[in-house]
Chain A
Amino acid sequence: MLQCQDLSYAFPNSKVCFKDINLMTGRDEFVAVVGPTGTGKSTLLRVIAHLIPATSGRVLLDGREVMRPTSRIALIHQSIATFPWMTALDNVKLSLRRGEVDDDEATRISEKMLDLVELRGVEDEYPKEMSGGMRQKIAIARALAASPEVLLMDEPFVHLDELTASALREEIYELVFNPESSLKSAILVSHNLQEVVMLADRVYVMNGSPATMVDVVKIDLPRPRSPKDPHFFEYVESLFKDLNLRESKA
């Protein structure tokens, strides 16, 4: 489905952020990327979405190289970006402004997405009047409204309370695996190892400077997963040790 081949990125000041990244996510697959702070995980997502061009390497979506930003790959930022001059509904409708749907249909889809993220009833409110979590839900609804095939999530639940985050994780997970949904795959960047083990089929571990992909861990647990499962805990521990060990080596 989505494939990164030998992806490298250097900042404008020539400092290499990461190099030779190979990552793959198949249809109906949930992939996570973990790594210490500053390894370039967020930058990697922006490069995958082609919001910044890779220094070398390429990204393939269904076998075709991604040459420009596309709404088929939607990114949800860590620092929540909502437009303060637009209502919640207008923020979501923004992703449907390409002229492919009429305004009524755009409103209907946007309301459905707001409903999905449990923001029904606040359509006419402005982001400024909302909490950080509610703003993030708007950003998620906006990304989903565009009917993406791949969803890139950069710490998307970090502003949410645990109850909301847990519910939203389930919603996103169901969307990825729902045959009627446009979503086919998701890549999650997170520091929350429990969240990663809960959602991911495969976990890529980034480390070093410049960062490289140092390990891939397949999470072989049946779904639905439970943190109370001893195997679940073992995976969390293993990832934690993996990160710690490699960080101390680095």
Chain B
Amino acid sequence: MNPAIIGLATLATIARVFMLLGISVVSGWILAYGCIKSRKFETMFVPLTNALESIPVIGFLPIVLVVFVGNLGGGLGVEIAADFLVFDAVAWNIWIGAYQAFKTVPEHLLEVSDNYRFGFFGKLKDLYIPHSIPRLSSNLFASFADAFFYISVSEVFSVGIQSASGIVRQSYQVFGIGTLIAQFLQQSDFADVYISLGFIALAVIVATFGFIRFGQWAVARYGVDTTIQIRHGTGGLRGQLNQRYRWMSRYASRHLPKLRSHSVDDFATEPGLSLRQRIGKYLLISLAALISGYIVFTSIQVALGIGSAEWRSFLALTPFLLYSMATDYVRVGAVTLASLGLAVFAGYYLAVHHRAAAAIMPGVQAFAAFPAPAYFPLIFIATLPILENVLPTLYSEVYIFILGFLSCFYYVFFDFWIGVMGIPSEFWDVVDNHELGFFTKMRRVILPASFPYLITGLSSTINSAWAGIAIGEYWPKIDGSHNLIAGVGMMKFIGANLASGNIGAAAWVALLFAVVVVIYGLFFTRNLMDIARKKYVVEEGVFAA
């Protein structure tokens, strides 16, 4: 194929990804603000976001097919469906990051903003958003990588449709590099696969350097007294914002008595909102409600359309599905432990060795963003003979583990790295001055100081591991002749049922899974985040003179 078309497709994908990153950030700020204003909203938001993040891209296919492709139809329906799948790859991690950042705004800054009666937009613009920028910068890394990682299963998707003549595979696609790679792989056109991967590599490397520079700037500007030097002057809008932010911090430290935090305002009664701002706010809320309502309504319609015999068969399957889910949780646990181990040791090393980080991090980032579904078959072909020989019954587990690891390790890795870089210089001085050993330093200072980042990263890693595992558990004809299929697994069940057109069964297990994830969100993420807010706000450890 003409390389110019491949280049154009890469640009189309980049534009799609950045547009959805932008939407995710803005919606994340608004939702996170909703969480800190309303405990009820937070109670719904956290588990729901966890559930949405945990459901792999292919888990959304039933919704996408019914809501966007089926109802809207045409090119627009397919484009929105693909955008929704890319959004699924980028949004939840950013939402959780924004929520975590908003939850850990130092109390004295909140008091200043209350004292001066900042309104909805004032608080967002001058307090919450600046405070969230360092944390979001690390999440942007990961989200961008995730979008590219799954690009070949987001821009093109297919499903089995039961018809009179049997099961027919129907494929939907939009213009982009993910679609082209999927096509080239199908045609065994490896030359064009390599050219496409080259274009992705170029795009990813350029974007990586941009994100790294942005991350350094974000931590230097908006982190509280870190060891990183601020390189730029304080001119311009960013400078003014930063000046104001720092001034608030200093003012609060010096002059304000230590009072309990602010009262919980209602959205509607917040001071300082002009009529235009109120209209804008309600328009945003209405739009979000409309989209959510539409999706819920369509889902209910589908549920009501399922017959009682089918419901009975779903219920009979449930014990087996729960067992399959438990098996997958063991896999997720293994992947998470490996990711955490890598993050704590390698992430820490890179955070304290800036030159090594400058050399290694772009490579890690570029690697993380490389679409595994595009290159994994090549690894499979190269390693299968050895693994089949060494682990004849377990080799598929190794591949599932690798795919799971590749899909999620960088969340906790990047978050922990940014968290360690944000530790105040005074803390490093104390650690060095008292010659603390590595493990004491880790246990007493580094891990607690980066705890909020670690929770965000771990949460995203756990949630995202499912997507890699989903690909690994059910990949028919991975190299043209072999099937990579797990013995038991919930994701295998979803994949197999989608391929055979049994969308109802796939949707049923996805629903069961969502319930479990909601419970996990309630007991894990929210509780840990509350602890992080109460105890592990590192900025509160330095009492500025």
Q: Which of B433, B435, B542 contacts A80 (CB 8 A)?
A: B542
- Report the separation of the CA atoms of residues A135 and B543 in the bound assembly, to the nearest whole angstrom: 8
**Chain A 140-159 against B: per-residue CB contact (8 Å), 1 yes, 0 no?**
00100010000000010011
Structural contact, B445 and A83, CB atoms closer than 8 A: yes
Q: Is the CB of A98 within 8 A of B543?
A: no
Interface of chain B residues 415 through 438 with chain A (CB within 8 A): 424, 426-430, 432-437
Cα-based distance from A51 to B535 in the complex (angstroms): 27
Task: Render A42-61 as a binary contact track against B, CB cut-off 8 A, 1 for contact.
Answer: 00001001010000000000
Q: Would you call A94 an interface residue if the criterion is a C-beta within 8 Å of the partner chain's C-beta atoms?
A: yes
Cβ of B434 and Cβ of A95 under 8 Å apart? Answer: yes
Q: Is the CB of A13 within 8 A of B229?
A: yes
Query: Chain A interface mostly helix, strand, loop or mixed?
Result: loop
Which A residues are in CB contact (< 8 Å) with B451?
85
Contacts of A74 in B (CB 8 A): 433-434
Structural contact, A82 and B541, CB atoms closer than 8 A: yes
A79 with B545: CB separation less than 8 A: yes
* Residue A84 at the chain B interface, CB threshold 8 Å: yes
| A70 within 8 Å of B (CB atoms) | yes
Question: In which size bucket is the chain A interface?
Answer: 35 or more
Q: Which of A49, A79, A99 lies in contact with B433, CB distance below 8 A? A: A49
Q: Which residues of B lie under 8 Å from residue A70 when comparing CB positions? A: 433, 435
In the bound complex, CA of A166 to CA of B499 (Å) = 79
Residues of A within 8 A of B430 (CB): 81, 94, 142
Residues of B within 8 A of A51 (CB): 428-429, 432-433
Tell me the chain A residues, 114-128 only, with Cβ under 8 Å from chain B.
126-128
Residue of A nearest to B258 (CB): A131
Determine if B298 is an interface residue (Cβ-Cβ < 8 Å).
Answer: no
Given contacts A81-B542, A83-B444, A126-B535, 13 further A-B contacts (CB under 8 A): A49-B433, A51-B428, A69-B433, A70-B435, A79-B225, A80-B545, A81-B430, A83-B427, A83-B445, A85-B448, A94-B445, A97-B436, A142-B430
B residues at A contact (CB < 8 Å): 225, 229, 231, 258, 424, 426-430, 432-437, 440, 444-445, 448-449, 451, 535-538, 540-545
17 contacts between A and B (CB under 8 A): A11-B229, A13-B231, A74-B434, A79-B543, A79-B544, A81-B430, A84-B537, A94-B445, A95-B434, A97-B437, A97-B440, A98-B434, A98-B435, A127-B541, A132-B543, A142-B434, A159-B545
Residues of A within 8 A of B (CB): 11-13, 46, 49, 51, 69-71, 73-75, 77-86, 94-95, 97-99, 126-128, 131-132, 135-136, 142, 146, 155, 158-159
